[in-house]
Structure 1
Amino acid sequence: MPRKFLKRFMPDVHKLNQYGVLKPFGAVAHDTNLWHLNRKTAAGGFAIGIFFAFMPMPFQMIAAAAVAIFFRVNLPLSVAMVWISNPITMPAMLYGSYRVGSFLLRQPSEPFLFELSVAWFQASLSTIVPALVLGSVVVGGFFSGLAYLLVRKIWRQAVQNAWNERLRKRRERLRELKEEFQKRRTASFDERD
């Protein structure tokens, strides 16, 4: 069942409180409905978390938590999916988003040399940042939508498989009961003769 699988990887409220992600939301973040796990809330949590994982912004987890609270989807999954963007994956994600944004804006890709200075930042605002932001929204939206559909499909398939397994076991048990009934019936007829 997807619920059991996902619960193994979901952060608990105490861990999220340690990081301070939920502090800005106070008691609202502890609403039990935001921690409930079903097909709709899991798919929404995945979608929101993956969308914000692609956003080139600080405090992605807080933004994902705020949107998850607003849309009433699974809060821990939203926050956990943001962790897809980490120091190892972030350069590839940002560069890919920048390339998509450059393509959509029909501008040539510029060398992506990062420099921690005010001059670089000011120059990037007009050249790199528009393509990066547009590409991040498009790529994040695409993968977010894909994640939403996949989670709903996988969840539905798992539920369907569980129902089919129950039905198979029920039919098997019914067949065994019929066979047992036939044996007893035959045995009672044999005793009469």
Structure 2
Amino acid sequence: MPRKFLKRYMPDVHKLNEYGVLKPFGKLAHDPNLWHLNRRSAAGAFAVGIFFAFMPMPFQMVAAAAVAILVRVNLPLSVALVWISNPITMPPMLYGSYRVGAFLLNQPSEPFLFELSLAWFQASLSSIVPALLLGCLVLGTLAGSISYIAVRKVWRQAVQSAWDERIRLRRERLRKLKAQFQQQPRTLHDD
């Protein structure tokens, strides 16, 4: 079942409290529903986490945590999924977002060399950044929506297959009991 798989990797709220990770959110982060794992909270957490993974902004995890608290979905899962965007995956995600944004804005996508400097950012503010931000917003929304639907579907199928297995085992037990009962010799008692 997806719950067992996900719970294996979830952090404990008490350990996070010891480290002070949840201090910025105060008592809001102690709502038990934010730590509960069910189909709705897991699917929402996937949508929030993957959406913010596409956002080119500092403190993505803080933003994902704030939105998870606001919409009351699983907090640790939302924050963990932001790490889909890491130093290895971020360049292709940003480039793909830029290409999608340029297509939607009907701009030719220009080749550019990224530099981590204020001068590059100011020079590309009018040409690259609008397409990049639009593409990030579109792809983040699309990926978040797809992940929401996929998690709900996978969770539902896992629950359905567990129920089907229970029913199959119950029928098998009843069939064995019936066979045992029919094999026992019947005796009549005269009293």
Q: TM-score range by the shorter chain?
A: over 0.9
- Give 1:155's aligned residue: 155
Structure 1 residues 36 and 68: alpha-carbon distance in aligned structure 2, compared to 1, 3 A threshold: same
Structure 1 residues 89 and 29: alpha-carbon distance in aligned structure 2, compared to 1, 3 A threshold: same
CA distance in 1: counterparts of 2:45 and 2:6, whole angstroms: 11
Higher helix share: 1
- Give 1:40's aligned residue: 40
CA displacement at 1:116 relative to structure 2: 2.9
1:138 aligns with 2:138: yes
CA displacement at 1:102 relative to structure 2: 0.5
Q: Is the 8 A contact 1:10 1:80 kept in 2?
A: no
- Give 2:173's aligned residue: 173
Structure-1-length-normalised TM-score = 0.92
Moved over 4 A (4+): 15-19, 189-192
1:188 aligns with 2:191: no
- Give 1:126's aligned residue: 126
Q: Aligned to 1:29, what secondary structure does the other structure show?
A: helix
Residue 162 of structure 1 aligns with an amino acid whose one-letter code is A
Identity of aligned residues (%): 72
CA distance in 2: counterparts of 1:189 and 1:128, whole angstroms: 91
- Give 1:76's aligned residue: 76
Q: Residues 8-41 of structure 1: CA distance to partner in whole angstroms, max 9, x if unpaired? A: 2223333587484x33201211211100000000
Structure-2-length-normalised TM-score = 0.92
1:108 aligns with 2:108: yes
CA-based RMSD: 1.9
Residue 136 of structure 2 aligns with an amino acid whose one-letter code is S
CA distance in 2: counterparts of 1:90 and 1:151, whole angstroms: 23
CA distance in 2: counterparts of 1:157 and 1:44, whole angstroms: 17
Structure 1 residues 166 and 152: alpha-carbon distance in aligned structure 2, compared to 1, 3 A threshold: same
CA distance in 1: counterparts of 2:37 and 2:174, whole angstroms: 33
Structure 1 residues 176 and 191: alpha-carbon distance in aligned structure 2, compared to 1, 3 A threshold: farther
Q: Aligned to 2:115, what secondary structure does the other structure show?
A: coil
- Give 1:8's aligned residue: 8
Structure 1 residues 44 and 131: alpha-carbon distance in aligned structure 2, compared to 1, 3 A threshold: same
Residue 188 of structure 1 aligns with an amino acid whose one-letter code is R
Q: Aligned to 1:11, what secondary structure does the other structure show?
A: coil
Residue 186 of structure 2 aligns with an amino acid whose one-letter code is S
